[in-house]
Structure 1
Amino acid sequence: MTIEELPARSPVAGLRRRGLSMVEVLAQSVSALAPSAAVVAVPPFVMVQAGAATLPVLVVGSALVALVGWCLTAFARRMAAVGGVYSFTAKGLGPGGALLAGWALVVGYAGIAVSALVGTVAYAISFTVPFTGARPPGWVAALLAVAVGLVATLTTVRGIRLSARVALALEVVSLGVVVVVLGVLLAAHDGSTGTGAAVVDGPVTAGGVATGLVLAVAAFMGFESAATLGVEARRPLVAVPRAVFWTPVVTGVLFVAAGLAQVVLLRAAPVEVLTGDVPVAQLADADGLGVLPRLLDVGIALSFFACVTGSVNALARVLFSMSREGVLPAALGRTHPRFATPSVALAFVLPVVVAVPAVALAGGARARDVLAGSLTLSALGYVLAYVLAAAAMPLFLRRIGELTRPALVGGAVAAALSAAVLVVAVAGASWSGSGAVVVVFVLAWLPGPVLWLVLRRRAPDVLARVGVYDQATASSVLPGQGVRR
């Protein structure tokens, strides 16, 4: 190929290319996943659903996500994309599969951003209660959510480099505080049981286990978001696959260990603590750990805030990618002239992400209820996207002549297990009380299939562009280097 045959402009021009280091790419996955918040907030939700099967559910959920991460590295080692899993899926399942997976990711990223925003507010309030002596009214929590949203807007529009580095540093500190608090609580544990044991050791049902697995997977949501930085990473074909694979593996070890500790501690606690907004912080307060509970509140609140920025960054880049393909309005594909970020897409999604929890909290909804609902909603989107991406991986490798038996087996197993979890969880929703969340998810996800059907009928040329990724341009190739003989 000669230089003259190369395109003059990359399909994703406008973003700052090849500027992020390995650490900054890793920080995106870590911030979107928010491990210190996930290992504290998610296990109690799993206990309510899975009962005595909580620990096996946490182990299986961690292993499943690690397998999905391994599948995604097959794409990440071969292409640099802004759409991440959305663009990956297009290379295996075509435009239809890509739009189904892509809009599931949109729902997932938006849902987890809402969850993280509520989590930030809940732990910020937990920090203030010992000083004020009472929980604030709903309108104060709503104003706090708006304030957090404004800070997130400024952070994400200015660029991912600073926010990612700060988020990674905060996560390391927060995880240290979580480990210390759980260790001190376990050391002081006397082996007694409380009313929480009725939930922790509760009955095991197929629907409960499947819903618990979906929630366990939710603890890792965002780990794949480093794939949306393929254009901006300095060495994308190295940095992105490492971040996508090792983030869930390391977090999985921490998640299972923290889950085991919380099973022991919450079994001995009152059931009101287990079903409270901030169970571990309440345990630490009850044991009189001095300043540690307040440090935990700050650490988890900051971790949740990092998750807000990481999730919104990934969401905006998926919408940016769809816009550049012509699937969504062109305005969403515009970038900030100074910061080279998808500023229009960010300005579009952030008001929605902030408005949902603000209205719910102002109306008197419990933070735990909003967190649980948005977490389940986002988990359904993520699991569906993971099913399609895992199924696409062996098809993609076969198309380029690089399919191996491990890749075929790994992709099939990851897709089949993820699909089974999703189907059983949705089927069990009617008797587990989360049927309304499933309905909301279906309504929120419908634009994806509708877009595909409309474009297939009216603009097949647009569908042909789905799955854009970064390409070398004539200006990026030295004279004499663009010739292949």
Structure 2
Amino acid sequence: MATVSDPPPAAPATRAGEHHRLSGRLGPGAIVFMVVAAAAPLTVIAGSVPIGIAAGNGAGYPAMYVVAAVVLLFFAVGFTAMTRHVPNAGAFYSYVGTGLGRGAGLGSALVALISYVTVQGAVYGYVGFLIGDLVAGYGGPALPWWLWTAVVLAVTGLLGYRHIELSSKVLGVLLVAEVGIVLVLDAAIVGQGGSDEGLSSALVRPDAVLSGAPGIGLMFAIAGFIGFEATAIFRDEARDPERTIPRATYLALAIIGVFYTLSAWAIVSAWGDGSIVEAATADPGGIVVTTAAQYVGTAAADVMLVLFVTSLFAAILSFHNVLSRYVFSLGNTGVLPVACGRSHARHASPHVASLVTTAIGGLLMAVCAVAGLDPVLEIFTWLAGIASVGIVVLMLLACVAVVVFFRRTGLDRRPWHSLVAPGLGAVGLALILVLLVRNLPLLMGGSTPLGVGAGVLLAAALAAGWLLARARPHAARDLTTATPADNAPQI
């Protein structure tokens, strides 16, 4: 049931009896299910891995997941060390604001909103196309993609309106299914010894890892981790936030990193180091399903097609939960209208923020449909490109904020946690950001104007934080301290 608190007398915009607090008993496992689901493991294996192999460093591509995981591990060390000092559940913007000031925090909030709106929109477009293609392939009616997307929007909105534990159960079932089918494929490939060349050794050979375009490979690898960083947004619904959030963060990162590396290596092994690039280039969208049919059977390939759809739905639901909690947090701190910060009396959910999130997603998809955009080649690639850059910017700012915060306050004097790890994370993320920006047109479907426009949009959103801080002097006023003000509404 909901745990509620009345707003303080100093907040005249609220009325007695309104709820402004979330509650729950989520443990590390439940949070891991939600954030790993956002990473959409099956979608990454079936979609990103073939492209990373073809456009990146070929058979050495699986090693890029190891590199990405190490960089993000450095990020996670500082991120989790700061968790106990940031009681606000605003995740990135709370961390950045606490470390770098209210202007940077509000700018990060705007970047986060854009990033999660666009990544959710990207997956909405993709899932509508896939459902339509799947239904038509099995003899059903050939309906426009946006009709299927509207159905997914409605189901997601319903689950997001309810208590978070319902979403965690749904995501848990879907995640186990999609990970399970990939692990079955991995086991079959390894059990049969891979291709005629045997199991791949490129993963540990420097010449293979550095061949081709490893920078592009790393770019696609880091995009597969988007979502794991959202553990802190569930702080108020966690059973023991100071322990649960760090454990969930490390566990999610470890699961994603090991799963991606193992599965990408298995796909390479299935075709052989000498043949995988040609195969992935010839059929990037279907090579994994073809591999499943070859090594496991046609029934497994059919199941994988269905789970590909459920993987995307799980990602959408997870991103919806994250975005609605950002909106909820911003409503409670005075950045957005106070109504956005209300929680449901019975479900203890951010129901208003969830409705706002659903409406924004619906509006974005309606605009895309009216504009006649292709759901995969344009909606998915363009919006995912914006989100990839935005999330890396937020993680980079969070690393810098951790270092600045602990240098200024001295609350954690452990060099590894407060300086070395977040510093290394900042360097690694800065290099990845350079790669993303240089290749942003590639992420935006090959369009230079769109790539430049996306970069300008994110930069403008970040800069607008300082303007917003000046225009709204009372908004998010607790971001500059490690503990919330006594008269600030807590979320």
1:262 maps to 2:267: yes
AA of the residue aligned to 1:76: T
1:81 maps to 2:88: yes
Partner of 1:32: 38
Partner Cα separation in structure 2 for residue 188 and residue 312 of structure 1: 41
1:214 maps to 2:219: yes
Partner Cα separation in structure 1 for residue 222 and residue 310 of structure 2: 21
1:405 maps to 2:396: no
Partner Cα separation in structure 1 for residue 239 and residue 144 of structure 2: 43
Partner of 1:101: 108
Partner Cα separation in structure 1 for residue 184 and residue 474 of structure 2: 56
Displacement of 1:119 in angstroms is 4.1
Find 1:382's aligned residue among 383, 388, 391: 391
Aligned length: 456
Partner Cα separation in structure 2 for residue 463 and residue 292 of structure 1: 50
AA of the residue aligned to 2:399: A
Partner of 1:417: 428
Contact 1:82 1:227 in 2 (8 A): yes
1:454 maps to 2:467: yes
- Of stretches 359-368 and 94-103 in structure 1, the one that deviates more from structure 2 is 359-368
1:178 maps to 2:182: yes
AA of the residue aligned to 1:419: A
1:297 maps to 2:311: no
Change (3 A) 1:365 1:82: same
Residue aligned with 1:87, SS:
helix
Partner Cα separation in structure 1 for residue 9 and residue 236 of structure 2: 13
- Of stretches 78-87 and 31-40 in structure 1, the one that deviates more from structure 2 is 31-40
| Structure 1: runs of 5 or more not aligned | 1-5, 194-200, 475-485
AA of the residue aligned to 1:420: L
Residue aligned with 1:340, SS:
coil
Instruction: Report matched runs for 1:210-359 at 5 Å.
Output: 210-265=215-270, 267-268=275-276, 270=279, 274-276=283-285, 278-285=286-293, 289-357=297-365
Displacement of 1:177 in angstroms is 0.8
Partner Cα separation in structure 2 for residue 361 and residue 182 of structure 1: 38
Partner Cα separation in structure 2 for residue 423 and residue 272 of structure 1: 25
Partner Cα separation in structure 2 for residue 66 and residue 99 of structure 1: 25
Give RMSD over aligned pairs: 3.5
Displacement of 1:310 in angstroms is 1.0
AA of the residue aligned to 2:71: L
Partner Cα separation in structure 2 for residue 71 and residue 13 of structure 1: 32
Change (3 A) 1:233 1:108: same
Partner Cα separation in structure 2 for residue 15 and residue 105 of structure 1: 21
Change (3 A) 1:81 1:298: farther
Displacement of 1:83 in angstroms is 0.7
- Of stretches 312-321 and 343-352 in structure 1, the one that deviates more from structure 2 is 343-352
AA of the residue aligned to 2:423: A
AA of the residue aligned to 1:291: A
AA of the residue aligned to 1:80: P
Partner of 2:163: 159
Partner Cα separation in structure 2 for residue 392 and residue 370 of structure 1: 33
1:110 maps to 2:117: yes
TM-score normalized with structure 1 length: 0.82
Residue aligned with 2:255, SS:
helix
Find 2:382's aligned residue among 361, 370, 373: 373
Partner Cα separation in structure 2 for residue 79 and residue 225 of structure 1: 14
Displacement of 1:350 in angstroms is 2.1
Residue aligned with 1:132, SS:
coil
Find 1:120's aligned residue among 91, 110, 127: 127
Partner Cα separation in structure 2 for residue 25 and residue 288 of structure 1: 32
Displacement of 1:253 in angstroms is 0.7
Partner Cα separation in structure 1 for residue 337 and residue 47 of structure 2: 37
Partner Cα separation in structure 1 for residue 458 and residue 111 of structure 2: 6
Contact 2:35 2:231 in 1 (8 A): yes
Contact 1:215 1:375 in 2 (8 A): no
Partner Cα separation in structure 2 for residue 140 and residue 176 of structure 1: 31
AA of the residue aligned to 2:240: R
Change (3 A) 1:471 1:427: closer
Residue aligned with 2:156, SS:
helix
Contact 1:32 1:306 in 2 (8 A): yes
Residue aligned with 1:77, SS:
helix
Displacement of 1:403 in angstroms is 2.9
AA of the residue aligned to 1:60: V
Change (3 A) 1:327 1:471: closer
Contact 1:69 1:245 in 2 (8 A): yes
Residue aligned with 2:349, SS:
coil
TM-score normalized with structure 2 length: 0.81
AA of the residue aligned to 1:19: R
Find 1:146's aligned residue among 146, 150, 154: 150
Partner Cα separation in structure 1 for residue 306 and residue 257 of structure 2: 23
Partner Cα separation in structure 2 for residue 472 and residue 325 of structure 1: 11
Displacement of 1:182 in angstroms is 3.9
Change (3 A) 1:467 1:379: farther
Change (3 A) 1:431 1:27: closer
AA of the residue aligned to 1:165: K
Displacement of 1:257 in angstroms is 1.2
Partner Cα separation in structure 2 for residue 270 and residue 264 of structure 1: 12
Partner Cα separation in structure 1 for residue 380 and residue 354 of structure 2: 22
Residue aligned with 1:338, SS:
coil
Partner Cα separation in structure 1 for residue 132 and residue 7 of structure 2: 53
